[in-house]
C-alpha cells in the first residue's frame, strides 16, 4: 500500500477511535433541537440537500483533520479554522496528532468518488460526531468549506451544555458547479483600487464560490500595471484616472501578491490589457504606438471609442509582445484578455489583422486568449474565448468557430448599471438593473442559438467611471453579485427568485460583519438572525 494512503487511514482511524473513546469516557448524551438543513440560507443553492434533523455541536473541543497526501488540503483546513475563528472566536487545531481524545471532528477528505463530477465538486456529510467534506481536490474542499461557513450559526446555543456550542444542522449536501467559469470583473483603470480593496473583494466573492477575477488593467484614462521594459506606462499613465484623482498602479510584486491571495481562495486572476482601442493612456506614454493621427493628451473623461494603436507598425507588436510576456510570467492562470471592444476608429481590416496577430502573441506566451465579443469578427481559432457583452451575432459567430462564450450581457450582468433611477452611482445606457432583474434571466437560454456546451460561464463586470471608493464599489456590486454567483454555480432547475430572495435577505449578518456597503433594496426583506431588520439601514437609503 502506498505510504500516503496508509498515513491517511491511520490518521482517520485514530481520529475515529479518539471520538469513540471520548464518548465512552464522558457518556454525555446531548439533546439537540430539531434542525432542518434544507432550510439553511445557502448561496449558491447546492445541487442536493438531505436533512437528518439533528445537530453537530461545534465547540472548543472540535478539531480539524485533513487528507495529508494531496496538495492543498492542509491549507484549506487552516482557512476553515481561521474562518471559524472569525465567526465564533473558537480556535480549532488542524492535523494535531498529539490529542488524547477527540469528541468531534471536521475532516477534509481527498477521494476519487465517481459522484464528484468535477474538481470543484464536493460532498458535505454532517452527523452528530463528524463533518466530512469529500472532494477530489483541495479546490473542491475549499468550495465545500464555503458552504460549511454559511451554515455555522451566527449565535452559539448556550443551553445544550455548560459551554458555548454552535449547532450545525445534520444531513448531506451533494454539490457540483453549473459552469466552470464564474467571474467578476473590476475596472481598476477608470478609477484605481488598492491591493487591499481587491483582496477584500476576493474575500467576498470566494464566499459565494466565484472563481475568476478579471482585472481591467488599462484603458484610455490610465495604465495600472508595471511593465519593466516600458517604464513610462506607469510613470506617466499610472498617474491619471477619470476626474482629478491621482490614479495608481500595481508594481509586479503587488500584482503577484494579488494573484497569490486569489490562489489561496481558489480564484484565477485574468489580466486584461485593452487594445487596439481604449489605448489613449498607453499611446500618451509612448506616442509611437498611436494610430489615430492626433496629438495625445492625458484623458480623464468618460467617452469611449476614440483611441487606437497603429495596427500596421512592427513596434506596436514588439510592445505587445513585451507586455504579454511580462504579465504572463507572473500570471499562473491560463488566460490573457486582450479587450478588443469599441475600436471605433480602427478600420475593420486593420482590426482583424491586429486581433489575429495578437492571438499568436498570446499563444506564444502560453496563454489562452479572451476578448470582448467583437474579436469574433477576426479569424481566431477555437481555443480563443469570446466575452459577450453587446452583440449576439458576435457570440453566435464565436460558437460557430467552436469558441467558448462567457456571458456578460450589459442589460443583465453589468454591475455598473444603476439599480433604478434613484439609486446612486452607475450608468444606465444598457438598462436599469434592479436586484430581481439581475437574478431573473437564464444564461443557458439567453442567446437562443447557443447551446449550454458553448457557454463557459458568466461574468459580472464592474466598470468604474462613476465610483471612486470601496464603499461605492460595494454599493454597486452587492447584493447583485450574490445573484450572479448563484446563476453561475446552481443548475437552472434549482434556481428560483422567491426562494433566493429569502436566502439573500439572510446574508445581512455576513455582509455587515464584513462591513459591506450593500445597496439595501426594498425588494428584499432584509433579516438579521431570522428577524426583520429594523431600519434605518446604513448605506444610501436614508
Binding residues (CB under 6 A) for ligand TNX: these are 304, 341-342, 372, 389, 414, 416, 427, 463, 465
| Shortest Å, Cβ 459 to ligand TNX | 11
| Shortest Å, Cβ 5 to ligand TNX | 49
79 vs 284, beta carbon nearer ligand TNX: 284
- Give 222's contacts (C-beta < 8 A, 6+ positions apart): 189, 190, 192, 237, 238, 239, 240, 241, 247, 249, 281
| Shortest Å, Cβ 379 to ligand TNX | 21
Cα 223 from Cα 273, distance rounded (Å):
9
Give the orientation angle of helix 497-505 with respect to helix 480-489, to 10 degrees: 130
Cα 14 from Cα 107, distance rounded (Å):
12
| Shortest Å, Cβ 73 to ligand TNX | 39
Distances (CA, A) of 242 to 23, 102, 238, 271, 493: 64, 57, 12, 20, 42
372 vs 484, beta carbon nearer ligand TNX: 372
14 vs 304, beta carbon nearer ligand TNX: 304
Cα 465 from Cα 241, distance rounded (Å):
9
Cα 372 from Cα 483, distance rounded (Å):
23
Q: Which long-range contacts (CB under 8 A, 24 or more apart) does 493-501 make?
A: 494/45, 494/46, 494/47, 495/45, 495/439, 497/436, 497/439, 497/440, 499/45, 500/43, 500/45, 500/439, 501/436, 501/525
143 vs 278, beta carbon nearer ligand TNX: 278
Give, as one character, the DSSP assignment of residue 287: G
Q: Are 385 and 373 in contact (CB under 8 A)?
A: no
User: Which helix (DSSP H) or strand (DSSP E) does residue 460 occupy?
Assistant: strand 455-462
321 vs 416, beta carbon nearer ligand TNX: 416
**Measured at the alpha carbon of residue 489, what is the angle toward residues 202 and 137, in degrees to the nearest 5?**
75
Instruction: List the grid coordinates of 341.
Output: 471592444
190 vs 404, beta carbon nearer ligand TNX: 190
Cα 94 from Cα 485, distance rounded (Å):
29
391 vs 494, beta carbon nearer ligand TNX: 391
| Shortest Å, Cβ 121 to ligand TNX | 32
Q: Are 368 and 334 in contact (CB under 8 A)?
A: yes
107 vs 414, beta carbon nearer ligand TNX: 414
- Residues designated catalytic: 342
| Shortest Å, Cβ 365 to ligand TNX | 23
Cα 17 from Cα 100, distance rounded (Å):
10
Cα 369 from Cα 323, distance rounded (Å):
14
Amino acid at each position: 500500500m502506498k505510504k500516503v494512503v496508509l498515513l491517511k487511514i491511520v490518521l482517520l482511524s485514530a481520529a475515529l477511535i479518539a471520538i469513540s473513546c471520548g464518548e465512552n469516557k464522558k457518556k454525555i448524551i446531548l439533546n439537540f433541537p430539531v434542525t432542518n438543513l434544507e432550510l439553511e440560507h445557502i448561496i449558491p443553492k447546492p445541487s442536493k440537500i438531505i436533512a437528518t434533523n439533528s445537530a453537530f455541536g461545534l465547540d472548543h473541543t472540535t478539531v480539524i483533520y485533513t487528507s495529508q497526501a494531496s496538495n492543498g488540503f492542509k491549507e484549506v483546513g487552516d482557512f476553515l479554522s481561521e474562518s471559524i475563528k472569525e465567526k465564533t472566536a473558537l480556535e480549532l487545531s488542524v492535523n494535531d496528532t498529539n490529542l488524547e481524545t477527540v469528541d468531534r471532528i471536521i475532516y477534509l477528505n481527498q477521494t476519487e468518488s465517481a459522484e464528484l463530477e468535477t474538481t470543484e465538486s464536493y460532498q458535505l456529510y454532517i452527523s452528530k460526531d463528524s463533518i466530512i467534506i469529500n472532494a477530489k481536490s483541495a479546490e473542491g474542499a475549499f468550495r465545500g468549506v464555503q458552504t460549511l461557513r454559511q451554515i455555522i450559526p451566527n449565535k452559539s446555543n448556550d443551553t445544550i451544555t455548560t459551554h458555548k456550542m454552535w449547532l450545525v444542522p445534520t444531513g448531506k449536501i451533494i454539490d457540483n458547479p453549473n459552469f466552470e467559469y464564474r467571474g467578476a470583473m473590476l475596472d481598476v483603470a477608470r478609477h484605481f483600487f488598492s491591493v487591499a480593496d481587491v483582496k477584500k473583494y476576493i474575500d467576498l466573492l470566494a464566499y459565494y464560490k466565484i472563481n475568476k477575477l478579471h482585472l481591467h488593467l488599462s484603458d484610455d484614462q490610465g495604465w495600472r500595471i508595471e511593465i519593466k521594459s516600458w517604464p513610462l506606462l506607469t510613470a506617466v499613465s499610472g498617474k491619471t484616472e477619470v476626474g482629478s484623482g491621482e490614479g495608481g498602479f500595481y508594481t509586479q510584486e503587488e500584482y503577484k501578491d494579488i494573484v497569490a491571495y486569489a490562489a489561496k481562495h481558489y480564484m484565477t486572476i485574468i489580466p486584461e490589457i485593452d487594445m487596439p482601442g481604449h489605448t489613449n493612456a498607453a499611446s500618451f506614454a509612448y506616442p509611437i504606438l498611436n494610430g489615430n493621427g492626433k496629438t495625445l493628451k492625458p484623458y480623464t473623461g468618460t467617452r469611449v471609442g476614440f483611441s487606437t494603436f497603429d495596427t500596421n507598425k512592427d513596434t506596436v507588436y514588439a510592445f505587445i509582445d513585451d507586455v504579454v510576456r511580462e504579465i504572463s510570467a507572473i500570471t499562473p492562470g491560463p488566460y490573457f484578455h486582450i479587450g478588443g471592444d469599441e475600436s471605433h476608429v480602427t478600420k475593420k481590416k486593420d482590426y482583424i489583422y491586429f486581433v489575429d496577430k495578437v492571438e499568436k502573441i498570446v499563444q506564444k506566451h502560453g496563454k489562452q486568449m479572451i476578448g470582448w465579443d467583437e474579436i469574433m469578427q477576426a479569424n481566431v481559432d477555437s481555443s480563443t474565448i469570446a466575452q459577450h457583452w453587446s452583440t449576439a451575432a458576435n457570440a453566435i459567430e464565436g460558437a460557430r468557430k467552436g469558441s467558448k462564450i462567457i456571458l456578460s450581457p450589459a442589460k443583465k450582468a453589468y454591475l455598473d448599471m444603476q439599480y433604478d433611477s434613484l439609486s446612486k452611482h452607475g450608468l444606465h445606457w444598457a438598462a436599469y438593473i434592479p436586484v430581481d432583474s439581475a437574478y431573473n434571466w437564464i444564461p443557458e437560454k439567453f442567446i437562443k442559438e447557443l447551446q449550454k456546451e458553448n457557454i463557459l460561464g458568466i461574468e459580472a463586470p464592474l466598470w468604474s467611471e462613476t465610483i471612486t471608493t470601496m464603499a461605492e464599489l460595494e454599493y454597486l456590486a452587492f447584493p447583485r453579485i450574490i445573484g450572479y454567483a448563484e446563476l453561475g454555480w446552481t443548475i437552472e432547475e434549482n434556481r428560483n427568485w422567491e426562494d433566493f430572495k429569502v436566502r439573500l435577505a439572510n446574508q445581512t449578518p455576513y455582509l455587515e460583519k464584513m462591513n459591506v456597503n450593500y445597496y439595501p433594496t426594498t425588494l428584499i426583506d432584509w433579516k438579521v438572525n431570522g428577524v426583520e431588520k429594523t431600519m434605518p439601514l446604513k448605506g444610501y437609503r436614508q
